[in-house]
């Protein structure tokens, strides 16, 4: 035999279960009815204050929803010593903003899915991939990919400022690294180590010193530890100088490459939305832009767009775009790369050829790729 108290307790429990179930299923009417029943039940027990609160919240739920910003991870700007080597932001970029081959798009999209479905994976003893290395030439979308990951997940992006992290004093760099990885464990976000070559160069090379080895060993140790809910993204322009032990620590290594003809056209069309480019000779444009990075292609498109706006026209011709690409290409012969060598992607003798798109010129580009 059940007592009256037991029956009332069972009834309340069933109401609570129904309340949660209706909320999970999005059944607002059922949720309201059950909340009002629970309120009446509590009022009969003399719990007038509780009954009134239940009724108020139930009625509030019937009002039109107020537009709210989606919940995102709260973030405070790093302070003190951390501010010297850790910068925080909320990226607005999405994966659709990054022009990449489909295989790279799929991998990055899957990282987002794995992170969102973390609990489902953990139920089966699995974890989402949280350490990602992006490798390839400058301007191919590596840093933008990290921003897009943060934007898709609505995580803050914490960019590790290496020139503030690496010091000449023994032990200080490792200490700062520990502070970064402590933050990785406690504050959810995407942590970007951009151009990680300075931290992760192979041990034992001719420029190696004892402190560099200690820093690398500390970095490896911290990577081995659990990063909690955060994602660590590292980028490199010089994968050949990385220590192999570093590569093994990453769950995913993605190779970025210079854009092919369809990607070049996609980048230009996306940037020149609103301009008249319907009669563009895309074969000439993509042939002439071959060997440039996506960033260079977009910069050339913006150059052509600026000149069109200042000329009071929205029309951009094939020749306008080729001339802009040639101006951008002229920059390729300046400066050095990260290891002190002149860029070899293009010959400096190509400058001044904006008016011609000769097969001979394109052959030199292909040969030096």
Provide the 3-class DSSP secondary structure of residue 129.
Answer: coil
User: Do the domain assignments include residue 211?
Assistant: yes
pLDDT in tens, 317-340: 999 999 999 999 887 665 545 444
Specify which residues 158 forms β-bridges with: 88, 191
Are residues 114 and 226 part of one domain? Answer: yes
Query: Residue 36 is part of which domain span?
Result: 8-60
CB 130 within 8 A of CB 248: no
User: Where is the domain boundary, 225, 255, 285?
Assistant: 255
Cα distances (Å, whole numbers) of residue 93 to 150, 152, 256, 307: 8, 8, 19, 27
The reply to whether 231 and 296 lie within a common domain is no
Query: What is the number of structural domains in the chain?
Result: 3
Which of 247, 182, 187 has the alpha carbon at shortest distance from 220? 247
Residue 3 lies in a domain: no
Partners of 252 in the β-ladder: 132
Clarify whether residues 104 and 155 are in a common domain.
yes
For residues 187 and 282, state if they share a domain.
Answer: no
Q: Which residues of 342-357 are buried (b: 16+ CB within 10 A; e: fewer)?
A: ebebbeeebeeebeeb
What are the backbone angles phi and psi of residue 347, rounded to the nearest 5°? -85, 140
pLDDT at 327: 93
Predicted pLDDT of residue 263: 93
Determine, yes or no, domain membership for 65.
no
| 117 lies in some domain | yes
Reduced to 3 states, what is the DSSP secondary structure of residue 21? helix
Which CATH number covers residue 242?
3.40.50.300
Please tell me the distance from the alpha carbon of residue 57 to that of residue 42, in angstroms, as a whole number: 14
Dump pLDDT digits (tens) for 73-123.
Answer: 445 556 666 777 788 999 999 999 998 988 999 999 999 999 999 999 999
> CA 195 to CA 200: how far, in whole Å?
10
Q: Supply the pLDDT for residue 64.
A: 53
In a domain, residue 71? The reply is no
- What pTM value is reported for the model? 0.66
Whether residue 164 is found in the same domain as residue 206: yes
State residue 231's pLDDT score. 94
139 and 236 part of one domain: yes
Domain closes at, from 208, 225, 255: 255
Crossing angle of the two packed helices 172-186 and 210-224, in degrees rounded to 10: 10
Q: What is the pLDDT of residue 161?
A: 82
The DSSP code for 2 is: -
Evaluate whether residue 369 is within a structural domain: no
Q: pLDDT value at position 202? A: 52
Alpha helices, H only, 136-171: 142-153, 162-165
Tokens coding 249: 């620590």
**221 in a structural domain:** yes
254 pairs with which residues across the strands? 134
Residues 150 and 245 placed together within one structural domain of the fold: yes
Same domain, 139 and 274: no
Tell me if 178 sits within 8 A of 218, measured CB to CB. yes
**Distance from C-alpha of 106 to C-alpha of 276, rounded to nearest angstrom:** 32
Q: Could you say which residues of the chain have pLDDT below 50? A: 1-2, 4, 6-7, 10, 65-74, 207-208, 336, 338-369
pLDDT at 131: 93
Residue 239 CA to residue 291 CA, distance in Å, equals: 19
Residue 231 makes CB contacts below 8 A (sequence gap 6+) with 111, 115, 130, 131, 132, 149, 153, 155, 189, 190, 191
- Specify if 291 maps to a domain: yes
Are residues 281 and 242 located together in one domain of the fold? no
Residues 88 and 199 in one domain: yes
**98 and 227 inside one domain:** yes
Give the integer Cα–Cα distance in Å for 224 and 226.
7
Alpha carbon separation from 159 to 148, 155, 346 (Å, rounded): 13, 12, 31
Domain boundary among 255, 280, 303: 255
Helices 28-44 & 48-60 angle (0-180, nearest 10): 170
Q: What is the three-class DSSP state of 176?
A: helix
Q: Under a CB-based contact definition with an 8 Å cutoff, are residues 235 and 193 in contact? A: yes
For residues 244 and 182, state if they share a domain.
yes
């Amino acid at each position: 035999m059940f007592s009256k108290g037991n029956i009332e307790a069972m009834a309340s429990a069933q109401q609570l279960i129904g309340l949660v179930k209706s909320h999970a299923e999005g059944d607002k009417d059922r949720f309201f009815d059950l909340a009002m029943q629970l309120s009446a039940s509590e009022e009969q027990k003399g719990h007038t204050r509780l009954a009134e609160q239940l009724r108020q919240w139930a009625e509030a739920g019937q009002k039109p929803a107020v537009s709210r910003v989606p919940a995102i991870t709260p973030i405070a700007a790093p302070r003190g010593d951390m501010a010297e080597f850790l910068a925080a932001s909320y990226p607005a970029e999405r994966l659709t903003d990054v022009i990449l081959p489909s295989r790279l798009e799929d991998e990055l999209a899957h990282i987002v899915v794995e992170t969102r479905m973390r609990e489902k994976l953990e139920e089966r003893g699995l974890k989402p991939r949280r350490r990602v290395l992006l490798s390839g030439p400058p301007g191919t979308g590596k840093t933008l990919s990290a921003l897009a990951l943060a934007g898709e997940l609505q995580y803050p992006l914490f960019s590790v400022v290496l020139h503030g992290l690496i010091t000449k004093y023994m032990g200080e760099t490792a200490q700062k690294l520990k502070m970064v990885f402590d933050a990785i464990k406690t504050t959810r976000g995407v942590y970007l180590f951009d151009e990680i070559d300075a931290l992760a160069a192979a041990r034992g090379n001719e420029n190696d010193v004892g402190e560099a080895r200690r820093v690398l060993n500390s970095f490896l140790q911290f990577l081995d530890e659990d990063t909690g809910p955060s994602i660590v993204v590292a980028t490199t322009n010089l994968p050949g100088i990385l220590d192999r032990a570093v590569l093994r620590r990453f769950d995913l290594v993605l190779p970025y490459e210079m854009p092919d003809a369809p990607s070049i056209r996609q980048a230009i069309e996306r940037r020149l939305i609103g301009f008249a480019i319907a009669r563009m000779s895309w074969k000439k444009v993509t042939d002439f832009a071959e060997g440039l990075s996506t960033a260079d292609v977009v910069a050339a498109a913006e150059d052509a767009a600026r000149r069109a706006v200042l000329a009071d026209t929205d029309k951009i011709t094939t020749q306008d775009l080729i001339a802009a690409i040639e101006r951008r290409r002229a920059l390729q012969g300046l400066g050095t790369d990260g290891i002190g060598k002149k860029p070899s992607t293009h010959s400096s003798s190509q400058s001044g050829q904006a008016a011609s798109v000769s097969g001979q010129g394109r052959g030199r580009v292909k040969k030096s790729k």
